[in-house]
Structure 1
Amino acid sequence: MHHQYPLAAVQLVAILAMPAAATPPDGANKEYFKPLCTTIRWAEGTVEISNDAESIDEDYDAIQELNMSLADGQWREKWANPPKTTPAKEVPKEPEPADDVTSELKKNWVKAAAAAKTTALVNANLKKAGLDKASKQQLRAAQAEIQRLAAAAFALRQQYTAESQQNQVYSIGKIKQQINKAVYGQDTKPASGPNQPAAMSTPSSNGRATQCDTAADGSKIRSIAGLALCLCAESDDDTDSTAIGLPCGTPTAQKPDWPNGQGAIATQYDKLAKYCGKGAKITLTPTEALKTTNTILNNFKFDDSKAYYGTFVATACDGSQAKGACYSTTKATAANPEGVKKLPWLEPLIELASMLAAHSEKLATTKQHRRALAHLKATAYNLGRTSANIQPESSGTSGASAAPQQTSPAAADCTTFTTNTTCTADNNCKWDSTTETTGNHCKPKAGTENPAAGTGETTKEGAASEGKKCSEKKSEGECKDGCK
């Protein structure tokens, strides 16, 4: 789905019965042919469009991964191993409407938790942010700031998603398809060149006026290839008059004649294609597409019964100096100039300009949000180096291993891991059951016990203190609270 971008108003020039000139000069259609030649060059060349819509995901994910690395260990494990629901056999009840924001957040948490699943990954994320040697107090302060940045990143991503739905990035294939529709009258370029009936209805040796003049529904000339022959062929139907010489200003060698049958359409068109430039490499911009389309629109002239494109003198577009080399249609008039926008060869060009404008707007939106997210990421990952209250302390225990569980899991609390797949050596933990895969079976590896991590054990110093406390009890009534 994309916007329709307004094109310039069709110029209204009433020509009525007045001739364009007493005798049209050679090259009379040169200016009319220029924008058509541009579209032929697009069709016959290699078209490129700007497509630097880099993903915003990389910076966004990095912020969320750091946020998850500073989170509580149980919170990380929950999203690293989200519960799998088993579909009920009975017919389920009508589900409640989904909360899109919550659903999106959950997806983010699962993805971030996967990137912070082990102690090694967490420590690596903290090191990137300069927080690997931070104290417990510093990590708490960092956690609050990172949470704020993560929330800002999520809001920015939601805004980007909403705006992106209004426009889309088009593939070069879709763009080329529109060009082909306009120039050849079909989605793909014919192997042997433009042909009937896609480009034009059956031409004949004495049918130029029939083909190019008074096409009520535009069905006779269905492509720019056919239109170009109406304007540029040096021949006429009128034996009493002289044809306009080199109507489109092409060299004699690239001057087409009016085709006298099916095979001749491609042969005569190819002369113009060579003149316009075959095989050129083109970077097509919205500005060029819009300018070309508007030039064509504003080249139309109108009277009370028809719209004309090219040099019209009188009566019919037969290629002669007496009548003119042109194209006319009753599909539009001075009272209804908008009718030309529905011609089968012009409508695809208008759509092309709209598509390229939408494409360009999407890229601009992407760049804007990408810059904003890059700034948030830079702030987050420089937090340990730039913020005074996050700087590592000069003394005391530091580093991720000293962090409280709610801010850093580097000192893993093995009791938080309740599955044998998360209770791993990476977390300095060991699963002590050979039969169970879930439950309270995750214990610290030998030599890694850390009472501060919540293993439920006490230090030797703690045990000695406890013994001393009990030895001071003088009576049976005082010997309680863990004493024997």
Structure 2
Amino acid sequence: MQAAALLLLVLRAITSIEAAEDDVNPDDNEEDFAALCALAALANLQTTVPSIDTSGLGAYDNLQQLKLTLSSKEWKNLFNKASDTNAPPKQPPEEFQTDPTWQKQWPIWAAAAEALDGDGKEAAVLAEAGLENAPDELRTMARQALIPISAQAEPLRERLSEVQRQNKDTTTATVAKALNKAGYGQDKATGAEYDSADAFNGGVGGNTQTACKAGGDRAKATTVAATIVCLCHKKTGGRDGANACGRLIIHQSDAGANIASAAPDFGDIMATCIAQPPKPLTARYLDNAVANIVSKLRFKTPNAYLGKFKSTGCTGSNNEGLCVEYTALTAATLQKFYDILWVKEVSNVAESLKRAEKEVAESTLLSTWLKASENEGNSVAQKLIQ
């Protein structure tokens, strides 16, 4: 998605007018605010993330329990509980401890033995397979038939376990924390709210023009909230712009000389934000939201701007600009846009969700195959009798 967004930026850089010649007027930043609103609505979002299907792991375990139940007494004795741990030995017999197959399979075999510990457990497993009254000869034949089934299922189990480990990093909490960091600069899953000390990197600085810069060593407007304040705030006196983000915004207070007291004004601005992210949240929504912002960047060498810019800088005055300056961002340095905090956090969440969506599909397929292996194992007795 980044490559496509960068291409869009290049095309816009080539075809767009470099600077706006007229003053900032009401509604000039309305479309920019709508695009930012789609991102601001992600703050404190309690969503769900794709859940993988691990039912195949249980199916594989059941297959191993059936195979162990049908094994000889001598084999079962290898897993007798150790007196000091009251559990099967953690290591195979000494003569097999350097054997890679035994090292790999021992935890699986031991887990099957532990699962079968208890009155009636083995009988229930045999009944499920239709072998509860089977003679020893049939049980031996059934166990032999299970060996290739189990061998074919093993790589499926390994892959499903790997998918499960990979998926643990994408949780509701980690997604919420990343989105709140992007929105407000606050690294927490719930309760994020506007605070200029967090929204602006290192605080707002001495004046609006200093605060409303992103990119470069002096970047301050690195969150979605800070970007909204820079494009939409109102200050009293002089030639300060008002209602640039829409005439429906009722500014009941001003943001202060250096927008340090913008919290109430931010609330007034956000009162008109009606964006509703999908639940569950999707990577497509995030990608589209970022791409929409990218498409609205305006270029005037040597910088790029979001919001109306006329001259001098993003001072908040209607004869200069209500905007964010992306310092030194040009067609040749477009990748740096993705280094900005909010862009990076949102893009990372999108990539995580893409991986999770793929993992869900893969885990469903793997679990389907493993459950088919379990069913095949439970039906070997009937096939042998026929």
TM range (shorter): 0.7 to 0.9
For the structure 1 residues 215 and 350, does the alpha-carbon distance in structure 2 shift closer, same or farther, using more than 3 Å as the test? closer
For the structure 1 residues 346 and 119, does the alpha-carbon distance in structure 2 shift closer, same or farther, using more than 3 Å as the test? closer
Q: How does 1:367-446 map to 2 (within 5 A)?
A: 367-385=364-382, 387=383, 389-391=384-386
Partner residue in 2 for 1:298 = 295
Partner residue in 1 for 2:30 = 30
Q: Secondary structure at the match of 1:155?
A: helix
For the structure 1 residues 80 and 315, does the alpha-carbon distance in structure 2 shift closer, same or farther, using more than 3 Å as the test? same
For the structure 1 residues 254 and 236, does the alpha-carbon distance in structure 2 shift closer, same or farther, using more than 3 Å as the test? closer
Going by fraction, where is helix more abundant, 1 or 2? 2
Q: Secondary structure at the match of 1:302?
A: strand
Counterpart of 1:207 in structure 2: which amino acid?
A: N
Aligned-pair CA distance for 1:132: 1.9
Partner residue in 1 for 2:326 = 329
Mark the structure with the bigger radius of gyration.
1
Partner residue in 1 for 2:47 = 47
Between the aligned partners of 1:332 and 1:56, the Cα distance in structure 2 is 49
For the structure 1 residues 139 and 390, does the alpha-carbon distance in structure 2 shift closer, same or farther, using more than 3 Å as the test? farther
Identity %: 22
Q: How does 1:106-125 map to 2 (within 5 A)?
A: 106-117=106-117, 120-125=120-125
Counterpart of 1:160 in structure 2: which amino acid?
A: L
Q: Secondary structure at the match of 1:249?
A: coil
Counterpart of 1:338 in structure 2: which amino acid?
A: Q
- 283, 287, 308: which one aligns with 1:286: 283
CA contact (8 A) 1:24 1:324 kept: yes
Unaligned regions of 5+ residues in structure 1, if any?
A: 86-95, 392-484
TM-score by structure 1 length?
0.67
Aligned-pair CA distance for 1:145: 1.8
Partner residue in 1 for 2:4 = 8
Between the aligned partners of 1:360 and 1:250, the Cα distance in structure 2 is 40
Q: How does 1:62-211 map to 2 (within 5 A)?
A: 62-81=62-81, 101-117=101-117, 120-162=120-162, 168-188=168-188, 193-200=193-200, 202-203=203-204, 207-211=207-211
Aligned-pair CA distance for 1:118: 6.6
For the structure 1 residues 192 and 145, does the alpha-carbon distance in structure 2 shift closer, same or farther, using more than 3 Å as the test? closer
For the structure 1 residues 263 and 14, does the alpha-carbon distance in structure 2 shift closer, same or farther, using more than 3 Å as the test? closer
Between the aligned partners of 1:63 and 1:308, the Cα distance in structure 2 is 61
Unaligned regions of 5+ residues in structure 2, if any?
A: 86-95
Per mean C-alpha deviation after superposition, the further-off stretch among 115-124 and 226-235 is: 115-124
CA contact (8 A) 1:331 1:340 kept: no
Counterpart of 2:73 in structure 1: which amino acid?
A: G
Paired residues in the alignment total 371
CA contact (8 A) 2:182 2:224 kept: yes
Aligned-pair CA distance for 1:57: 2.5
Q: Secondary structure at the match of 2:47?
A: strand
CA contact (8 A) 1:306 1:330 kept: yes
Q: Secondary structure at the match of 2:41?
A: helix
Between the aligned partners of 2:166 and 2:190, the Cα distance in structure 1 is 34
Q: How does 1:472-483 map to 2 (within 5 A)?
A: none
CA contact (8 A) 1:224 1:345 kept: yes
Between the aligned partners of 1:210 and 1:117, the Cα distance in structure 2 is 69
CA RMSD of aligned residues (A): 3.5
